[in-house]
Amino acid sequence: MREKILTHSAELFLTYGFKSVTMDDIANNLGISKKTIYQHFDNKTKLVEATTLHMFDVISHGIDCICELKKNPIEELYDIKNFVMEHLKNEKSSPQYQLQKYYPKIFSTLKSKQFEVMQTCVTANLERGVKDGLYRNNIHIDFIARLYFNGMVSLKDQDLFPLTHFSMNVLLENYLEYHLRGICTDKGNQILNKIINQTKNQ
CATH classification of the domain holding 153 = 1.10.357
From first to last of the 202 residues of the chain, give the pLDDT tens digit.
Answer: 999 999 999 999 988 889 889 999 999 999 999 999 999 999 999 999 999 999 999 999 999 999 999 899 999 999 999 998 887 765 555 677 788 889 999 999 999 999 999 999 999 999 999 999 999 999 999 999 999 999 998 888 888 988 888 888 889 999 999 999 999 999 999 999 999 998 877 6
Distance CA 164, CA 137 (A): 39
Domain span at 72: 59-201
Per-residue confidence (pLDDT) for residue 149, from 0 to 100: 94
Give the CA distances from residue 106 to residues 50, 63, 99, 133, in Å, rounded to whole numbers and listed in that order: 10, 22, 7, 40
Per-residue confidence (pLDDT) for residue 164, from 0 to 100: 84
Per-residue confidence (pLDDT) for residue 15, from 0 to 100: 86
Q: Write down the pTM of the prediction.
A: 0.88
Is 141 inside any structural domain? yes
Residue 191 · residue 75 · CB < 8 Å: yes
Q: At what angle do helices 73-88 and 168-181 cross, to 10 degrees?
A: 160
Per-residue confidence (pLDDT) for residue 89, from 0 to 100: 64
Is 102 inside any structural domain? yes
Give the CA distances from residue 111 to residues 99, 102, 141, 153, in Å, rounded to whole numbers and listed in that order: 11, 15, 21, 8
Is 130 inside any structural domain? yes
Per-residue confidence (pLDDT) for residue 199, from 0 to 100: 81
Is 32 inside any structural domain? no
Per-residue confidence (pLDDT) for residue 138, from 0 to 100: 97
Is 75 inside any structural domain? yes
Is 182 inside any structural domain? yes
How many domains, in total, are found in the chain?
Answer: 1
Per-residue confidence (pLDDT) for residue 7, from 0 to 100: 93
DSSP 8-state code for residue 180: H
Is 23 inside any structural domain? no
Is 48 inside any structural domain? no
Distance CA 94, CA 166 (A): 12
